[in-house]
Amino acid sequence: MNNFTFSYPTKVYFGKDSAAEKLQGELSKYGNTVMLAYGGGSIKKNGVYSEMKEILTAAGKTIVEFSGIMPNPTYAKVQEGAELAKEKSVDFILAVGGGSVIDCCKIISAQAELQEDIWTMENENKRYPTEFIPMGAVVTASGTGSEMNSGAVITHEEKKIKGPLFGAYADFAILDPTYTISVPMKQVISGAFDTFSHAMETYFGKPDKNNLSDDINEAVMRSVIRNIRILLKEPQNYDARSELMWASAMAENGVLKIGKVTDFQAHMIEHQLGAYTDCNHGQGLAVIHPVLYRHIYKNNADRFARFARNVWGISDMETAEETALTGVEALADFIKEIGLPTTFTEMGISEDTDFKAIADTAVLTAGCCKKLTREEILYILNECR
């Protein structure tokens, strides 16, 4: 295993009624003015908004609302939130929602404490913020695992780039699986596939010899497969929802990445697809992954064969390549089984989308098997159509 440094900066309160039992106590540690940040208003329909308001009021907080955070949060929205935080002298940010809300708040938390543009600071000057408005997260839709790391994915519409920024860690995160019950099943499954993608992109990173991180990762992937299937049959199943919620956090809290150099090439391709189309992230990953893996599996057939055996339960065939490809096809079949799209056309992505521009601007990673060229990325995008 490679050398590593690991820390756990985010406290997690997991389970039913966690907010009612723990949130007010956490809020007592911070100043008076709290930004309550959320998305399009679904938390007002499912009662979470009222619950948060009651808890904040009971804690004696002055509430500054920041709503309308979109599924693919924009840099303009980050700046809007940062300006509001400065104007109202916000002491604490409470992000209530899924990964998009939490991602946006991580960068608001940093930008509000800066005198310079964070996009330029990080992407051009390679410097990163060290001061933040403290924040906490109440997760209402799982999949991204955003609540337990400092990374965020933000779309800079002017630059046509959807890419990573780094901001605050949440001081605490509340994960109550009951909050996910009102989320449309299509979104639940899309989010769960994002979790699965995070696990795969870590698993296929380096080194590719056996290590504990990969053993744990295989268990996480099997759990996601099992619990998606349960939830599709039993949408109210609390145990399945709780398992998927914790798998989401596990896939991105660093545990699976210990001693690994991860490969997130599928994510990088999908991010740029999203920058040009504003598409659903999990659905885009579902289309891209099998096509990408068919393109590269021969470059590390032994690793893909292990994936086939240990995740999908496939017996060894005559060659490692044959076993590996069977595992990739098992992934593709699973995507169909759970109702996710298998082509961009199914996603409603227009045929006149500029796929060459997407390929030309996608971040190139080292690759789990090989570093792709931009021509190969364009080929993969065209195969996904």
Residue 80: predicted pLDDT: 98
Provide CATH code, domain 11-180.
Answer: 3.40.50.1970
3-state secondary structure of 156: strand
pTM of the model as a whole: 0.95
pLDDT under 70: residue ranges of the chain: none
Alpha-helix residue ranges (DSSP H) falling in the chain: 18-27, 42-45, 48-58, 75-87, 99-111, 118-123, 185-203, 212-233, 238-252, 265-277, 281-296, 301-312, 320-337, 344-347, 355-361, 374-384
280-331 confidence digits (pLDDT tens):
999 999 999 999 999 999 999 999 999 999 999 999 999 999 999 999 999 9
188-205 confidence digits (pLDDT tens):
999 999 999 999 999 999
Pairing mode of beta strands 62-66, 135-139: unpaired
Distance (Å, whole) CA 154 – CA 300 = 32
Distance (Å, whole) CA 93 – CA 85 = 9
Residue 2: predicted pLDDT: 77
Contact (CB, 8 A) for 106 and 150: yes
* Domain residue limits, the chain: 11-180, 185-384
Q: Which CATH architecture has domain 185-384?
A: Up-down Bundle (1.20)
